[in-house]
Amino acid sequence: NAGVTQTPKFRVLKTGQSMTLLCAQDMNHEYMYWYRQDPGMGLRLIHYSVGEGTTAKGEVPDGYNVSRLKKQNFLLGLESAAPSQTSVYFCASRSTPEAFFGQGTRLTVV
Amino acid sequence: AQKITQTQPGMFVQEKEAVTLDCTYDTSDQSYGLFWYKQPSSGEMIFLIYQGSYDEQNATEGRYSLNFQKARKSANLVISASQLGDSAMYFCAMRLGAQKLVFGQGTRLTINP
């Protein structure tokens, strides 16, 4: 049982480059979330989805886009990476009540 | 505003003592849920305990209990008989309605031998 898998685990980007982070879950959960974690800031919600084909903005959505074309996958895109987007990104999926997290993606933008 | 606040950036406790980590929340929703997660230095997020807004009894899971005071809008985590392995970041989180899940800033707990 893989749970929640994030790809990649590490990435270094140059300013202005684009990339997509993939989150895959095998638990048939409806709800999926993308967070970023910065020192002293806790986890801040970027975007979330309440089901296939739906997405919604969280607390810090600017500079990110998401898609949920398949129930099991939730993609986070950075169209033009900025150094302020250097962070650890976590994906989570939830049934009721617990949320399960991926292992995180450490992204550095130089 | 709907938010979670953890006012203790860091806590230091002697091994075997009990520890209380504070969490207050703000929401106008009637239906919500409160969670605590542990994040050790390895980085993974570990679910500890959950309390629903309509639950009348405080949630307990082994050495963890959630002190839920609805009128005060607080959901403190109590760890009894702390162990060295409890040293970690602890996050309080709130589920709003059925959908959104937001987190507090976290408390770094250090257990001293």
Percentage above 70 pLDDT, chain A: 98
Name the strand (E) or helix (H) holding B90: strand B88-96
Q: Transcribe B38-74 into DSSP letters.
A: EE-TT---EEEEEEETT--SPPEETTEEEEEETTTTE
Give me the pLDDT at residue A100, please: 94
Query: Do A82 and A109 contact (CB within 8 A), yes or no?
Result: yes
Cα dihedral sign, A60-A61-A63-A65 = positive
Please tell me the distance in Å from A5's CA to the nearest CA on chain B.
Answer: 12
In this structure, what is the dihedral angle of CA atoms B20, B10, B49, B70, given to the nearest 10 degrees? 60
Residues in A closer than 8 angstroms to B101, CB to CB, are 31, 33, 45, 48, 92, 94, 99
| C-alpha distances in Å from residue B20, one per residue of B26, B79, B97 | 20, 6, 27
CB B44 to CB A41 under 8 A?
A: no
Q: pLDDT tens digit string along A64-73?
A: 999 999 999 9
Confidence of residue B1 (pLDDT cuts 50, 70, 90): low
* Closest Cβ opposite residue A45 in set B35, B100, B106: B100
Chain B interface residues (partner A, CB cutoff 8 A): 6, 9, 33, 35, 43-45, 47, 50, 52, 91, 93, 95, 98-106
Is B20 or B31 the better-scoring residue by pLDDT? B20
